[in-house]
Amino acid sequence: MRPEFHLTLPVEDGASVFPALPGFVTDVRPGAAGPYERLARIGRAAELAGMGGVLAPFDPAGQDSLIVAGGLLRGSRHMRVAAEFHAGIATPVYAAKLSASLQRFSGDRLDWRLAVDLDPRVARSQGDFVEGAERYARAEEFLTVARGVWHEEDYGFAGRFYEVLGGGLLFPLSGRAFPRVQLSGTSADAMALSARHADLHVFGPEDDLDAAIAELGALAAQMGRSPAYGLRLPLLAREDDDEARRDALRLWLLRSGARETFPEPERATRLWHGFGRPGLVGSYENVAAAIRGYLDRGVSAFFLEVEPHLEETYRLGEHLLPLLAKEIHNAG
């Protein structure tokens, strides 16, 4: 399967942990760097860097991911855009109609990342009071109904959370490709949901990757399905390991870490635990080698998390992705 590299967009309107520029640095162009323009620049950088797509994460306090996705799809030609949202955002019928419109306008480049396990406080703040295993039961119905109205005319469904009578998308919205469904999680409920519905299941470096892939593969095979596997991957890559370590230390200190508590990157795995979750720190060659290791273990999609987003995206396109061009070319 052809490897994919996606950029994870910032959730705080382009905010960065790096210090703001001094007051005397100005841009006389009015509105040149408004809230959307910052995200648009990152999206353009990702496409120019040769990445396959970007992820607009669910941000309970920020901009709506589907609105951001629509703007980025309009401003790009080739890359996919995944919008992360939870099932309480709307009815599956409305989500399907909105997404079919985006597919029609973008040439079928929209993905869904369904966030199922939300912090209960976040969920309640969004008007969503479904809890525990019920969230997975609702997600099951959400995806079932969305696919049903997408592919069938006069569609009917009666469940615990949704009911549809005589539904279905008609021309000009019918006939588009259903968004690629991305799911995550390693609980029994998460694995069962992905086995039935995921086109791409996204793990984290902290997960027991080999065991999780084997488990999900076996569950999906029982249903005649074979999802692809992705990985959330924070990274910081530089010309050599020493430079990467220095910039990792700088990032650690900017995030109010103390020098004496700085976690050293692991030499064997290149994993660093200073991002908030494990990620890769090292030279371009060593980070590329670590990514090849994940490819050998069955991962085919990487959701890269970098900061500052714009500068690091160009850096990855110039220095890291060319080292992986052979794998991308051979898989294609």
18, pLDDT greater than 50: no
* Strand residue runs (E) in the chain: 4-8, 53-56, 80-85, 110-114, 155-158, 163-167, 180-184, 200-203, 228-238, 271-272, 279-283, 301-305
> How confident is the model over 214-223, as a mean pLDDT?
98
104, pLDDT greater than 70: yes
Residue 260 in any domain: the answer is: no
Residue 276 in any domain: the answer is: no
What is the CA 165 to chain-centroid distance, rounded? 33
Please give the structure tokens belonging to residue 303. 């959701």
Backbone angles phi, psi at 107, to 5 degrees: 75, 40
Residue 257: the pLDDT is: 78
> Could you tell me how many residues make up the chain?
332
148, pLDDT greater than 80: yes
Lowest-pLDDT choice from 31-40, 96-105, 284-293: 31-40
> Does residue 189 contact residue 196 with C-beta atoms inside 8 Å?
no
204, pLDDT greater than 90: yes
Domain containing residue 17: CATH number: 3.20.20.30
Angle between helices 35-48 and 65-74 (to 10 degrees): 50
Range of the domain at 301: 4-21+30-240+283-331
**What does pLDDT average to over the chain?**
92
Residue 192 in any domain: the answer is: yes
> How confident is the model over 24-34, as a mean pLDDT?
60
Residue 267 in any domain: the answer is: no
Residue 256: the pLDDT is: 77
Residue 97: the pLDDT is: 98
> How confident is the model over 191-213, as a mean pLDDT?
97
Band (pLDDT 50/70/90 cuts) for residue 328 is low
15, pLDDT greater than 50: no
Tell me which residue of 116, 126, 109 sits closest to 55, measured CA to CA.
Answer: 109
235-290 tens-digit pLDDT: 999 999 999 999 999 999 988 778 999 999 998 899 999 998 999 999 999 999 99
> How confident is the model over 282-300, as a mean pLDDT?
97
**Angstrom distance (rounded) from CA 268 to CA 164:** 54
Please give the structure tokens belonging to residue 67. 């609105």
Residue carrying the six token digits 């309480």:
88
14, pLDDT greater than 50: no
Residue 245 in any domain: the answer is: no
Residue 90 in any domain: the answer is: yes
Residue 62: the pLDDT is: 87
**Angstrom distance (rounded) from CA 203 to CA 184:** 6
Q: Where are the alpha helices (DSSP H) in 129-240?
A: 133-151, 188-197, 209-222
| 134, 144, 179, 193 from 162: Cα distances, Å | 13, 10, 20, 17
Band (pLDDT 50/70/90 cuts) for residue 13 is very low
> Does residue 279 contact residue 302 with C-beta atoms inside 8 Å?
no
314, pLDDT greater than 90: yes
Residue 225: the pLDDT is: 97
Band (pLDDT 50/70/90 cuts) for residue 329 is low
> How confident is the model over 55-65, as a mean pLDDT?
93
Domain count, the chain: 1
> How confident is the model over 64-79, as a mean pLDDT?
95
Residue 70: the pLDDT is: 97
27, pLDDT greater than 90: no
End-to-end CA distance of the chain: 7
116-130 tens-digit pLDDT: 999 999 999 999 999
Work out whether the CA dihedral 116, 120, 121, 123 comes out positive or negative.
Answer: positive
Residue 289 in any domain: the answer is: yes
Tell me which residue of 207, 60, 209, 180 sits closest to 114, measured CA to CA.
Answer: 180
291 secondary structure, DSSP code: H
> Does residue 194 contact residue 118 with C-beta atoms inside 8 Å?
no
Residue 252 in any domain: the answer is: no
